[in-house]
Amino acid sequence: MFSSQLTSVKQHHDLWAVRDNTGERKIYENHVNKTTEDWLKVYGLEAQKLTLADFTREKERYKVDGDIVEGSNQNHKKLLNFGTKLMECIGNYHRRTEWLLTGSRKLFGLLRGQNVAILIDASDNNCSCGRLRTLQESLLKLIDEQIPTRDGLYVMPYGTYPRPQFRNLRSINHRSLEDTRQFIRQLHPLGSCNLLEALKLVLKKRKQFDSIVIILGGNPDQPPERISDFISQAVVGLELPLHVVAFDCIQDECCDMLQEIAEITKGRYHCYSSRHEEEIYMSTDMALLKTELDRAVEVLMSMKSLQAGLLSDTLEENINKLSSIVAATTDSTSNILKFDEECSTNQCSTKEWLKVYGIKARKLSIYQLLEPNSFLPTVTYVPILKKEIRAHVYDSMIKVKWPDGSERRVHIDPATFTDYTTSLQKSENLLRSRASWLNSGSMKTLGVLADKKVTIFIETSSEMAKSLKRLNQDLKLLFEEQLIHTQAFNIICIGSKVRAWTTKMVQTTEKALQECYRWITTQECHGKFNLLEGIKFAIELHLLDTSSIHLIACSKPDQPIEIILSYLEQRLLFQTLPLHCTYYDTTEETDSVVDNTGKISMADKVLCDLAHATAGRFHTYVKDQDTIEGDDIDLIRKEIKQTNEFRDQANYLLRCTLDNVNNKKVVNQQSAVNMSTISGNAKRVIPAKFKNVSSKFMQSNSTATIKKSTNKVKSQNQAVKGKPWKPAGPSDPAFQNYPAWFSGKNTKKAQLQPFYIGNQNEKKEIGYVYWLKKYGLSKLYLDFEKLIIKRKMKTASSKANQVQCTVSLTLTELRNYQTIIAKVFKRYLSRLNWLLTGSRRIFGIVTEKNVVVLLDASGSMESRFKDLQQALMMLIWEQIMNQKCFNFVQFSKDINSWKSQLTTANDNACISACDWISKLNAIGNTNILDALEYTFKMDRVDAIYIISDGMTDDPSDLILNKVQTWRSRKPVAVHTIAYCSKKRSASEFLRRLAHQCNGRYHEYNNNINTNLEIINQLTDDSYSINEDELLSNFASDDVKKLIRELLLAKEYHLQAATHIKLRTSDKKETTKAIRK
């Protein structure tokens, strides 16, 4: 009986293999034009009678009085046939899953129907940053693979307006397909995303189609609720299922809206993401397959329970093989972990990494290089001379100040220093590769797991609910990249209650990590963050054999950190248990409530203090942030900075040595080189302390030569009394006010003179105070008043002293000065034109990196609010884009914030801000005081820009006093923009507020013609300009200061021209007198 049973099992096993191959061909033939829902009607568990209820009925046949006994050979064949059918069915699911994940089916899903209409999102948002080319290639693949089997096709890209290829449905043939391919290759951005208008147009022609496909890549112009309501009303009484596709969509709101549309129309939803490939399993077809596969797994587990006494060994092997196939299939349809088998040398904390690859570890410190060839001054007593003798050291050796305060003579070997700078460059490259590694994968989001035995605490409070989906994806990367290289681990979720994956540390294996990750995906967020209870839970479970605890949280714990630290100190006694903290925040938008904002802003500070108090490391990750912050990356940045300083110091010493050799002169160096004062520009400019050192950058070689040249110049000036006065030399204090470049010589100082002459790289985005300090006439040594020498002289006719003014420039130098001041005037004028164009004419210059814009949306702004909205959009794209972190706060009766914190200005953020601004309305009072208080509580704010007409509800003195109190705690600059202000008192209040808060005042004047007329007056050759009348038209600080400097430059040009004319006439008269 046993032999016959075994033979029967083998025969059925061979039969299963044959059926598998034939079934594969059969399923492949039936894949075309069948959705998963229709496909499961034929190949699902119910259609094949392989459900759990069918297996239960089959199992009951072999029960006698509640005990399972062996039946006849025929019964074994029936049970074996059931198992082989189940194996074949699961194999079909696996093959269909792979088929759906290939080609255009992965990008857009499986299309149904014969007459298909395709709506394509061709908005600027979906076609920017290289997305257009990807969209075109994907659509061409869809046309080649799925469209040729259809009867008709209708293609309609939509942006601001729909742009269909043809007016009506077109039949499918070779020519029409080629026309459609060419049409898609010529696709270009069409403006905004007006999905509602496209839906209205296609639903008017719905009788022509039996399938409508909507492809959307971002949020449409209309609110999701409006689109959903329109579709629900349009399809009443109709059977028109929509196939909606979220094509590489970033916004969760867009995906939720498409899912709702699919449910309303009883259609299908498909999701494709190039960033997170696992999101495709949220699609309708994939979700149905996964549900059916889970049911098959449940039946399989029930079959395995019968292995003990009923099934033969061969059937058990088949079921085990089936279990492995099911596991692989289940993982492919869920978040399967793909582990990184190679362990990187970077897999340690930066502090430990620097002990091996740091500058000190590799002995690349500048003092370690100089130590072998450095000599201390030696003093020895000589008895025969009866005095102390100092050892002679060659003056060519450079004197360097050592870190211990001593001074040493150092010999510089050029070859050694060249090799040293090369080694420093390699070290810097290694440090930058470490920084890139820290800024990638799970290291960027969750930090570095450096220990071998790790316990991970995950916050699952209600605060983490908005970030839970993204956190699961980042935890997947953490498991694949870092946790696989540890020895033991455990996961504990902490909310109001504490839930642990296991009650002990588990050895790290791929199977254990896979099971743990599945458990994490089932966790939900609720309640508060009871960290103290989680620590107590871990310690009571004897988890003290862990090397460290890694905490991932987005809010501060319920208990103060003093209580947590006190408990750890009492419980651990002399043991050390570092608590590494990661502040994880991926929320895009929160309620604009002041209390909530203050609570969230304190979370990262509390976690940082907790990590450092327990000798742990702190890491922070904020969504869409360009740079990461944390203890690991900070150490790398400091090491890179130290490397650059050492390289600059080595280059400086090498240049000094080479200069000594080239000059062939030995100089007595009186002061030692202080290495700490050498900056990145040391190889070009020597600090003031080292001007006595011989170098080609110095103005003189030694103190002796300076004295000789000074005496020589003095004697020449005394001998020639008729010539104009000039400074005696570099030792003369007046030398600083005498520009040597007036003489026309190509000196070093002439090359460093104004940006207007040859150098076009002017830094424009600075305020008037810093601009005048850098580019003003006084800073550029162009102040004509300082070049005039006033002398008191007595005349014979009157006893009173008369003042005689003499210009300390020759005729040639005066002409050079006139040419230069004319060029400076033109550059000033070009800056004035720049200030009066674009968004700078309305709002002035945005100079800081982290700014918050307060927008007055009260009723007094209603008549000009639409123009202001357009101007704000221009401000975003012209001044804020790709340069700053920003936020908008609208105030009227209430306060409405665009984001709860500062956001990096990238494409998506700017688009979202413009969309938010376009939906604002001007109504209500002007509550500027609460808006300022709300903004002062934000973190990382450098400046506040207030756009208002100045009509406030609160008294101006109260607002000024409150702001002064807030600035005493947090010194934030406040700039004000008076937008079409009609009352002088309102403008004066905004001016006082800006000047009190170290800010700038700007006033928008919409009379652009008057501004242009005044600029034309400045360029006129006439010098009769009324300064008060001119400045009255420009109330802005930046423009007013620049116009004053323009008028001063014009006056200096006139004075120089007058002196040149006098000098020329005097010279002609002297020449005539000599000839006579």
pLDDT confidence bin for 639, thresholds 50/70/90:
very high
The helix/strand/coil state of 953 is: coil
Q: Which residue has the higher pLDDT, 623 or 182?
A: 182
Q: What angle do CA 121, 220, 122 make, to 5 degrees?
A: 20
CA separation, residue 596 to residues 590, 886, 1015 (Å): 9, 19, 50
- Average pLDDT on 635-658 reads 86
- Condensed to tens digits (0 to 9), the pLDDT of residues 15-67 reads 434 344 444 444 445 544 578 888 888 888 888 888 877 777 766 665 443 44
pTM summary value: 0.40
Q: What angle do CA 150, 156, 158 make, to 5 degrees?
A: 150
Q: Cβ(110)–Cβ(284) under 8 Å?
A: no
pLDDT at 742: 45
- Average pLDDT on 898-911 reads 88
The helix/strand/coil state of 979 is: strand
- Condensed to tens digits (0 to 9), the pLDDT of residues 1012-1067 reads 566 666 666 555 566 666 666 677 888 888 888 888 888 888 888 888 888 787 66
User: Residue 197: which region, alpha, beta or left (left: phi > 0; alpha: psi -120 to 50)?
Assistant: alpha
- Condensed to tens digits (0 to 9), the pLDDT of residues 122-142 reads 998 888 777 888 899 999 999
Q: What values do phi and psi take at 467, rounded to 5? A: -105, 0
Q: Cβ(693)–Cβ(667) under 8 Å?
A: yes
The upper half-sphere exposure of residue 5, i.e. CA atoms within 13 Å in the direction of its Cβ, equals 16
- Condensed to tens digits (0 to 9), the pLDDT of residues 572-600 reads 765 678 899 999 887 754 443 334 334 44
pLDDT confidence bin for 704, thresholds 50/70/90:
very low
Helices (H), 30-72: 36-43, 45-48, 52-60
Q: What values do phi and psi take at 1058, rounded to 5? A: -65, -45
Choose among 331, 329, 333, 330: nearest CA to 94: 329
Give the number of other Cβ atoms within 10 Å of residue 36's Cβ: 24
Choose among 304, 121, 97: nearest CA to 213: 121
The alpha carbon of residue 821 and the mean position of all alpha carbons in its chain are separated, in whole angstroms, by: 43
- Dump the DSSP string for 260-316: HHHHHHT-EEEEE-SS-GGGGGGSHHHHHHHHHHHHHHHHHHHHHTTTTTTS-HHHH
pLDDT at 290: 85
Given a cut of 60, whether residue 8 has pLDDT beyond it is no
893, amino acid identity: K
Start-to-end C-alpha separation, the chain = 150
